[in-house]
Amino acid sequence: MIDVWAPRAGRVRMRRTDPSAGGDVELAEAGDGWWRADVALADGERYGFVLDDGELRPDPRSRRQPDGVHAASAHVDPASFTWTDDSWTGRQLAGGIVYELHIGTFTREGTLDAAAARLGHLVDIGVTHVELLPVNGVNGTHNWGYDGVLWYTVHEAYGGPAAYARFVDAAHAAGLAVVQDVVYNHLGPSGNYLPEFGPYLREGSRNTWGDSIDLDEPAVRSFIIENALMWLRDYHVDGLRLDAVHALHDEQPVHILRELAEASDALSAHLGRPLTLIAESDMNDPTLILPREAGGYGLGAQWSDDWHHAVHVALTGETAGYYADFASPDALPKVWTAGFFHDGTHSSFRGREHGHPMPAEVPTWRLVTFAQDHDQIGNRAAGDRLTASLSPDRLAVAAVLTLTAPGTPMLFMGEEWGASTPWQFFTSHPEEWLGEAVRAGRTEEFARMGWDESVVPDPQDPATFERSRLRWEEVNTGDHGRLLDLYRRLARLRRSRPELTDPASFRLAAQTEDPDAAPDARRFVLRRGGVAVLVNLSAQPWDVPLDQEEDEVLLATLPARTADGVVTVAPDSAVVVGPV
């Protein structure tokens, strides 16, 4: 049986691209905009739909596009892959470490198979969850992934669906859970034929990236929910990162996020392994992660931009744009203890009050915290990592803050060794007009923000993509190798000290120390139960009394001297102390 939702068509035919396989197959109306025909396709067989007397279009639910998003689909039989992960029971997000990567730039080859060959590196540094940027079909050869137009596909340049299954299977064999980044708030600009089939987009309603998805249409909601279940069920994925959920315009009585959470939880119960939905949101609204019985949507976790902003400002001193509100030394302690910085406070960047308080009962691991990610690097004018502006000593402090803080820590690929490569915004749109529009829009965006637009790389220049590829040859050399070793030691410390994964530690105290320090000093004592993280971002050594006689230095980024119940924290360093 083959079917397609095409309420805008008066006639629908399925066409095989191989003429020897037979002529067009007429689909019959089945009600509610659906068309169906009793026909079977062989695995790999090419086909598409013809609406009325139009051109051949890919299947909206195509799982493979061998010749790109404008060409025919290839049928994929989900049972064609032989899985070896029968013993995989999944991983809870609580206590985990997430590693975000982009398949196209993680390795020189830029494929799923090449990425799978590097999974041992992630295990070695203590990662538990590997999160892939979107892998959907996009026009062109390379893209961040957020221009996807066929949500059910796996980009052919990455290896297609078979390579994706091999990657997940290999990850599970290595003990790693897989989280897939999915985009349900917009469709890309090239190869988007869905509006020819039906009202997938809401006319007159736009978000940052284009027309909003029409969530008033039941079939569109089902299209999204079934897509989510496909990754979790057919590809054995362990979780989904839901892109920019604040751009989901939903006026229905039950929000689409709640429906997704309910469907995911039901599938989790059936499969007998944990499945996690993680929202990206700038709303600072705990409704996303509160249990449904408490009036929330019941998602597993959400990203915390506030944590990133507080850490970034403390480390770099940058206070332009949305960083302005995080200039106070109180910003870092507040996100450490309260989860959100903006919890109903005034946001100067937005020009209004923003956010809601985080209930103390919410477990800390439900916030995914990070010092770097693809957006916060790639949406800078030059796509520069912290490596470009911080000394090795401050990069080490960033590592300590990331892996000792409340929340579920996330690393962005290469962060663990201070990768020298930038992460820049790149596209490969074949259409000249679209490439020019992307160039102009990118320049205009940074001009509006007051950034130097002259340093904005051309997204369409292949060199922009090439510069963003990781250089694995630097991983164990010099300062890179020393930083990588620190991340390994921090991950071991995190596993060995229950305080560092305590889900209730938002309720524990933190304080800014040394009130007599110079105004430009940045000195913090940040507590996790009996463990204290001492951060000295000033230019002078800092003497800190130990809380208890049995306290000792558990880890230090630079040599720390302890004498007479006092630990001396060197400039631009961090020390973790606690009872042995």
User: Is 224 known as a binding-site position?
Assistant: no
Q: DSSP letters along 512-527, please?
A: E--TTS-TT--EEEEE
User: Is 36 known as a binding-site position?
Assistant: no
Active site residue 280: yes
Which is nearest to 36 in space by CA: 49, 21, 55? 49
The contacts of residue 6 (CB under 8 Å, 6+ apart) are 12, 33, 34, 35, 49, 51, 197, 198
User: Is 480 known as a binding-site position?
Assistant: no
d(CA 522, CA 329): 7
d(CA 87, CA 11): 47
Q: Which of 59, 259, 280, 416 is catalytic?
A: 280
User: Is 211 known as a binding-site position?
Assistant: no
d(CA 261, CA 276): 9
What is each CA distance from 2 to 11, 36, 75, 359, 555, in whole angstroms? 15, 6, 11, 48, 60
User: Is 245 known as a binding-site position?
Assistant: yes
**Dihedral pair phi/psi, residue 254, rounded to 5°:** -110, 120
d(CA 268, CA 122): 25
User: Is 309 known as a binding-site position?
Assistant: yes
User: Is 155 known as a binding-site position?
Assistant: no
User: Is 265 known as a binding-site position?
Assistant: no
Q: DSSP letters along 102-155, please?
A: -HHHHSSS-SHHHHHTTHHHHHHTT--EEEEPP-SB-SSS---STT-SBTT---
User: Is 242 known as a binding-site position?
Assistant: yes
User: Is 307 known as a binding-site position?
Assistant: yes
The contacts of residue 28 (CB under 8 Å, 6+ apart) are 35, 36, 37
User: Quick one: angle between helices 478-496 and 392-404, nearest 10?
Assistant: 20
User: Is 374 known as a binding-site position?
Assistant: yes
Q: DSSP letters along 165-211, please?
A: HHHHHHHHHTT-EEEEEE--S---SSS--HHHHS--EEEEEEETTEE
Kindly list the strands in the beta sheet with 2-5, ordered across the sheet, starting from the edge strand earlier in the chain. Answer: 2-5, 34-37, 28-31
- Burial class, 322, CB count within 10 angstroms (exposed 0-12 / middle 13-18 / buried 19+): middle
What is the DSSP pairing of strand 201-207 with strand 210-213? Answer: antiparallel
User: Is 236 known as a binding-site position?
Assistant: no
User: Is 92 known as a binding-site position?
Assistant: no
Which is nearest to 267 in space by CA: 238, 287, 290, 300? 238
User: Quick one: angle between helices 331-338 and 305-316, nearest 10?
Assistant: 150
User: Is 375 known as a binding-site position?
Assistant: yes
Q: Which of 243, 343, 416, 572 is catalytic?
A: 243
Q: Which helix (H) or strand (E) holds 55?
A: none
Q: Are the beta carbons of 529 and 364 closer than 8 angstroms?
A: no
d(CA 71, CA 193): 11
User: Is 350 known as a binding-site position?
Assistant: no
> Could you tell me the maximum CA-CA distance found in the chain, to the nearest angstrom?
89
Task: Count CA within 13 A, CB hemisphere, residue 312.
Answer: 26
Q: Are the beta carbons of 533 and 574 closer than 8 angstroms?
A: yes
Annotation: binding site = 241-246, 305-309, 374-379
Annotation: binding site for substrate = 241-246, 305-309, 374-379
Where in the sequence numbering do the catalytic residues fall? Answer: 243, 280
